[in-house]
């Protein structure tokens, strides 16, 4: 979706940023250009491209939503706003039917992870802020359609990979609308228009490539890139966490006195939406993306189809938990924030337990596997003991609980990076060459 900036806050300031009807009216010219280009590509592609007319109609349906939400700037609780949501819901529905007619297979793990985190975001923050049953139902239905379309785009469909980027960017843009307009989170409004335009470009590119088969997925290439992405993403997340600690308002953040989620509060020491809140949220969202991308590579260490499935579902739970923590700060709704924490820990525990037995993971030394498990169990046991001791007023909260929390987090990061190092090394060591011996046998 796209929404007028002058409906997000001060109208005059929004117009300076390009809001208002004149600032977004260009959408009524931008989308028709994309429709003309994609229609030409479909006609030129002939019979193989004819099924893409359904996807083209979905792209055209976004103009209904653009007209009511961006051009007219319909108020939140108006009938025009519901019509705008209906326009984008029609677009999502047409894209889902397009994937189904191509006999696509959706990704159940992507659907489950997104449904988990977005359902908590809607239930804990968005719907209570709406105070309107029709609007809550309309947005919930649209969120469900978005999750299904993204899961199809991230599944197996034989179409361009640009579908994945386009629909994911559209979902991100819609989430930013919820934060900026419904929850009144400042300084996130400019992300809405930029990501929405990029999503339309990616979707149009995917439709325009209807006559070309997508590049064959290279598992070897993915396994070589996955550890590099894990290294880079891990370092970026740690840098964002460190920046959030430095940017914490008031006295210097003390990691031995405060939990890490203290940085993600919407109000810190009298400051509404401080910089550390945004940095903490971005770090968690980035961590969720890194985990979602690395767990399929981590499954190459596991033997057995059932064990691989369990590991991948553990990764889904871990990523969904991290995303939930980012969506729901502890001072907004402590219960659902803790649900995200439990989900993230449970997902990591599933992977740790599956990678410990030798029958599941024979390519890693037994000392390393059991040492990681023993250290993690001992650390989690101490952490729970500190929590119980504080609950029964036997020990103060700090420095025991916050310090142990940091050790648990750093241990999980180190464990992930350990397997990333192993994967990096193994994907870059040349495979042994079979050499024929003089007696007719082969040797490595």
Residue where one domain finishes, among candidates 208, 234, 249: 208
Residues 188 and 232 in one domain: no
> Is residue 116 situated within a structural domain?
yes
> Is residue 158 situated within a structural domain?
yes
Residues 31 and 54 in one domain: yes
The secondary structure of 79-118 as a DSSP string is: HHHHHHHHHHHHHHHHHHHHHHHTT-B--HHHHHHHHHHH
The structural domain count of the chain equals 2
3-state SS assignment for residue 442: strand
Residues 82 and 143 in one domain: yes
> Is residue 433 situated within a structural domain?
no
Tell which residue, 312, 378, 318, has the closest CA to residue 348.
318
Residues 271 and 170 in one domain: no
For residues 373, 377, 380, 384, the Cα torsion angle rounded to the nearest 10 degrees is 170
For every one of its 444 residues, what pLDDT tens digit does the chain have, with 9 covering 90 and above? 666 555 444 333 233 333 444 356 666 778 999 999 999 999 999 888 999 999 999 999 999 999 998 888 888 888 999 999 999 999 999 999 999 998 889 999 999 999 999 999 999 999 999 988 999 999 999 999 999 999 999 998 888 889 999 999 999 999 999 999 899 999 998 899 899 999 999 999 999 998 777 666 678 889 999 999 999 999 999 999 999 999 999 999 999 999 999 999 999 999 999 999 999 999 999 999 999 999 999 999 999 999 999 999 999 999 999 999 999 999 999 999 999 999 999 999 999 999 999 999 998 999 999 999 999 999 999 999 999 999 999 999 999 999 999 999 999 999 999 999 999 998 887 655 444 444 545 444
Number of neighbouring beta carbons within 10 Å of residue 363: 11
> Is residue 238 situated within a structural domain?
yes
What global pTM score does this model have?
0.90
Residue where one domain finishes, among candidates 176, 208, 240: 208
Residue where one domain finishes, among candidates 154, 180, 208: 208
- Confirm if 184 and 132 have CB atoms less than 8 A apart: no
Pairwise CA distance, residues 37 & 19, whole Å: 27
Residues 196 and 256 in one domain: no
> Is residue 264 situated within a structural domain?
yes
Residues 391 and 418 in one domain: yes
Residue 436's pLDDT is 46
Pairwise CA distance, residues 70 & 84, whole Å: 9
Residue 70's pLDDT is 85
Residues 285 and 415 in one domain: yes
> Is residue 311 situated within a structural domain?
yes
For residue 335, the enclosing domain spans 220-426
Query: What are the start-end ranges of the H helices in 102-161?
Result: 108-121, 127-130, 133-153
Task: Specify the residue for token string 């029964």.
Answer: 392
Residues 271 and 184 in one domain: no
- Confirm if 57 and 42 have CB atoms less than 8 A apart: no
């Amino acid at each position: 979706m796209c929404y007028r900036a002058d409906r997000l806050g001060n109208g005059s300031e929004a117009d300076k940023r390009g809001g208002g009807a004149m600032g977004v009216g260009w959408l009524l010219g931008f989308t028709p250009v994309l429709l003309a280009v994609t229609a030409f590509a479909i006609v030129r592609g002939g019979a193989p491209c004819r099924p893409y007319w359904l996807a083209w109609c979905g792209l055209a349906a976004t103009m209904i939503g653009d007209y009511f939400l961006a051009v007219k700037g319909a108020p939140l609780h108006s009938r025009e706003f519901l019509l705008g949501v209906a326009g984008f819901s029609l677009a999502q529905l047409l894209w889902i039917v397009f994937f189904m007619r191509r006999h696509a297979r959706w990704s159940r793990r992507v659907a489950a992870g997104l449904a988990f985190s977005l359902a908590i975001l809607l239930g804990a923050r968005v719907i209570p802020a709406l105070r309107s049953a029709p609007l809550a139902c309309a947005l919930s239905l649209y969120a469900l359609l978005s999750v299904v379309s993204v899961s199809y785009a991230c599944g197996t469909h034989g179409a361009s990979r640009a579908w994945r980027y386009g629909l994911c960017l559209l979902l991100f843009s819609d989430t930013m609308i919820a934060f900026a307009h419904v929850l009144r989170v400042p300084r996130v409004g400019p992300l809405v228009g930029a990501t929405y335009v990029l999503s339309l470009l990616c979707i149009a590119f995917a439709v325009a490539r209807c006559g070309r088969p997508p590049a064959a997925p290279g598992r070897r290439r993915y396994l070589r890139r996955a550890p590099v992405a894990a290294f880079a993403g891990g370092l970026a997340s740690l840098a964002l966490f460190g920046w959030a600690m430095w940017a914490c308002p008031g006295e210097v953040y003390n990691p031995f006195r405060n939990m890490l989620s203290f940085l993600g509060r919407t109000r810190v020491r009298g400051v509404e939406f401080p910089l550390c809140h945004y940095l903490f949220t971005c770090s968690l969202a980035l961590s969720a993306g890194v985990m979602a991308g690395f767990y399929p590579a981590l499954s190459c260490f596991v033997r057995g189809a059932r064990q691989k499935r369990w590991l991948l579902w553990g990764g889904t739970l871990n990523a969904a938990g991290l995303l939930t923590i980012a969506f729901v700060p502890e001072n907004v709704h402590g219960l659902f924030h803790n649900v995200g924490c439990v989900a993230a820990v449970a997902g990591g525990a599933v992977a740790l337990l599956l990678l410990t037995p030798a029958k599941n993971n024979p390519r890693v030394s037994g000392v390393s596997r059991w040492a990681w498990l023993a250290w993690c169990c001992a650390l989690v046991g101490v952490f729970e003991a500190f929590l119980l001791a504080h609950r029964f007023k036997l020990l103060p909260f700090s420095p025991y609980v916050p310090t142990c929390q940091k050790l648990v987090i750093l241990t999980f990061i180190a464990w992930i990076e350990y397997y990333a190092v192993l994967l990096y090394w193994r994907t870059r060591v040349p495979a042994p060459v079979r050499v024929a011996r003089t007696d007719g046998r082969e040797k490595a």
